[in-house]
Structure 1
Amino acid sequence: MKNIFLILFFLSLVLTLPAQRTILHAGKVIDGVSKKVMTEKSIIVEGKQITAIENGYTDPDDGDQVIDLKSHTVMPGWIDMHVHIEGETSPDNYLKRFTNNPADIAFNSTNYARETLMAGFTTVRDLGGSGVNIALRNAINYGVVVGPRIFTSGEGLKITGGHGDPTNGYRQDLMGDPGPIEGVVNGVEDARKAVRMRYKNGADVIKISATGGVLSVAKDGKGAHFQEDEIAAIVETAKDLGFHVAAHAHGDEGMRRAVSNGVKTIEHGTYMSDATMDLMIQKNSYLVPTITAGMEVAENAKKPGYYPKVVADKARVIGPKIQGTFSRAYKKGVPIVFGTDAGVFKHGENAREFTYMVEGGMPAMEAIISATSVPAKLLGMGDQIGTLKAGYLADIVAVPGNPLEDIEVMKDVKFVMKEGKVYKN
């Protein structure tokens, strides 16, 4: 009996001790919402959350951990709204479709996830893969794998022969006739079934290929692919199941159909007309520019044999146009949200997009906000991530110097915290 009382006594002492805190002494703070830079702040983290942001450099209590970021700019963890976390560009990528097993894809994806997190991206929206991306998301959530918080579409939706049809480029006896289970949609009933299959498989968002694409082994890079009734059925069914819809689109007609029928984000937007830009403003649809991917494919197309000829021909033409479309859209007032298409270039280089956005005419602060509070709201997490504020999850990154003076420092991430855990310091 005496031992029980002693145990209870010591347990009561432990329970009354103050919880250990992590205190970040931040020289400069960008909170992800305000366009004003704050200076000399202390960000207090307990468990997974920010509990306070205090003026000056708070003195620690016994047991507190202090991290000195006085020479850094501290921001919310960044959010990339367009990645492909399962794979990465290489000259033999098209061969890998026949040599890689799902296990190979899965193991490689864990490296890409880690690289993405270490680059400062604590949340990503994965827009299309084989389905391994759903398992990877779960493994990260369970703490089995280190990586960013993932919202994924699983396999994207496309038409027969369209961008993303898994058997494009195969010899005829291997092509078969993939359908809604594989994400290949022809008609309204297929469209509804394909969305419901994504729901069944555990996806978070629906992605469609509204036009042709660059890297698919098909000659069409910009023609409209879905009929309007198919897009309407996809959006309606997705809404019923709690999804928003993202549309890969290079050609203008495919974009117009997508935006008119309720698609929330347009990915790439290469040949977007002024009329479609006006429609996006009216509908509050967002452009996800992916300028880095455009730059990368244009460069790779110059390398003999890097892409099949049908792909290289498209990449040389479409790639260089994306930054110009972004500039026009930004100046016109189209809503912009940060996204890179990482996987088309090397994972971990996502911050290149900040440089291209600033070069394209967007002020550095707006580019940062487009990668913090803006995507957080689109993902339905605007009250949890994307902002440095008491009560929010402690997703925090820091770079040396001042990105408003030199946007290149965004590529030099020195500190990464996700949900209160330090991954890079």
Structure 2
Amino acid sequence: MAKKDVIIIGGGAAGFFAAINVAEQNPKLKVAILERGKEGLGKVKVSGGGRCNVTHAEFIPSELVHNYPRGEKELLGPFHKFMTGDTIDWFEKRGVALKIEDDGRMFPVTNSSQTIIDCFLNEAEKFGVEVFYNHSVKSINKEESDFKVETTQGLFSAEKVLIATGSNPKIWNLLEGLGHTISQPVPSLFTFNIEDERIKDIPGVVAKDVAIQVLETNLWSEGPLLITHWGMSAPSILKLSAFGALELAKLEYKFQIEVNFIKQSFEDCLEVLKVLKQDLAKKAVYKSTQFDLPKRLWHKLVLASQIQIETRWADINKLQFEQLATQLTKAVFNVKGKSTFKEEFVTAGGVSLKEVNFKTFESKKIKNLYFAGEVLNIDAVTGGFNFQNAWTGGYIAAMAIVNSS
């Protein structure tokens, strides 16, 4: 049996971050990471299209927490201890400069996730963290003061264990066996599958700022909307999918959304259209794109309003006016299913937050058992927020482990 002081189960973002911080703060501790794959940091590698969206340029804890559909209340205290500025500082001290993009997302200046991976691997080696790959955990048991962790490659023991396995049903089952409650996992951060003539054949078109509501619910969001080969995506949709993860699962991903493409009321839109009827009387409606909409989307909405390609503004009747205003401000689409957002899948669900002390990220049920990252019932919208949760949890748990060793 391999005896360690601290075992970290899961060689992802939170696991490596915690391990490095423990080993750096107390070099005497024997720290080991158990990773089931042949290499770790898989999500780091694919995040942000291979650039790694490290965090988000939001520096006020009370604002930052609004990006977490689950975990908003619990993360407020931890973010006062370690958040975006601390993350930037941590990486810069280790030679990794970050940059802020226009939408607030932060990436390494190199634009490569390998920079982050190399940083972690180098730091782990520097501080003597042992990483055991191809070690899938089969059981976790507490015997007197030590944990016994059985893997496919052998048995380990340690006084302290940190679980950082992300959304792993097998580990959740083991934690249930130890007495923890697991909130039922459901997908979060997904795109909507929609078959509709109005968005057919125009993938890649982006409406810059729309308002969307899921009909017969209180779910709504605003932001850019991307039309894809299979339906709709971009922040406005991903936000809805994150905050509505539980509700949309109950609806079995079959529901209706109402899209306001111009963020104006139906009545205000009608008034604008009446002015256009006067000002552009001799021009074809189809050819005179309005409201700063993409031309191809405007064409689709005009045709959906029963207005022909050659119809002039002067010739539009009352019904066509109302139909066009409806398409622009209250367009209803049927959603039938979801698609995972790239490889950056996120799951809502995990260890119940009531069973964790968020001053230390230690289990309230089992002494010396800690958690970090998405193994907890915490998830965020897209934009670097899930990683920030991993860094914050990993750091605070690491400090608690060091201070109690």
TM-score normalised by the shorter chain: which range applies? Answer: under 0.3
Name which one, 1 or 2, has greater alpha-carbon Rg: 2
Give TM-score, length-normalised by structure 2. Answer: 0.22
Give TM-score, length-normalised by structure 1. Answer: 0.21
